[in-house]
Chain A
């Protein structure tokens, strides 16, 4: 499951496994401060490596990366088009 992998990455890699955190697929990652700018760059790298896709500058937008759900949708679109 891409969704769970992304959530796990945010919790474990970006937040160092803080136990009191919970992330839902529709949570606003950026507005809530769950992911900061450096974290987002790492997250994009992770998504690229994990799914063997390349995110172009055009695609690095709020719409594609605001929530875990949006990222999952984006990855699926990219794979289908690739």
Chain B
């Protein structure tokens, strides 16, 4: 084993805060200025520890009689044998020592699409968010055209996109190296667009084929989409932990759906979001056949036994539909 040696102070998450190259052994550590490696930490002695080779040629860190000593894996030790991955806590500072010959892990394959960073995806994301806001405004607009209402919607859409993505970019800068605001804006824009498309599609399918379940449980699709959006944000922050984030997002989706069901049950006594399908679309969308009045009245009559059973029950103990 030969020098030079690198002393690295580490953050709690393992990031290197400071690295210093020292050519010769022994290396003296402490707060005093006569040390080879000065540690600016009030809990470190002026002359705290020394790194030197032992008889077997291994690198050893020895306590020089300090009050707070050396801590490794939660234990206070008089001396610690340093392999390249041994992290020792001195006072409030975590240290690692590596020789120049330390073998590093092979480089990771770069799957990041570097041209899709920054302004381009950011602009696309803001456009999608603003487009969503404009569409929502237009859809619910029953008054004569007024420019200011659409401008307002545009501002709301862009503002919401910036606020949401800004939060994620802040977290990205904190835990990753870059803010990646453009990517987060793009994820948000895509999420909103997916929400809009899904709800329109669900309403259309429900109305066209008379499949009421598509609108009755629409909030669960939305929950799933929001969880997916969070997954992509998390993966942007730290692309290494995709597998874990998949579980987190799945857990969020299940929790969200569970909350929706519990809320519906508590508020209205049924699991579905609505009492009946209220969507009305243009006649050209319809595919399923109309039924006769007789058939409808037969269905109505079919509800009687369940209602009469419900009469005898206490409030809150009604049968669940669907």
- Do A and B originate from a single complex? no
Residues of A within 8 A of B (CB): none
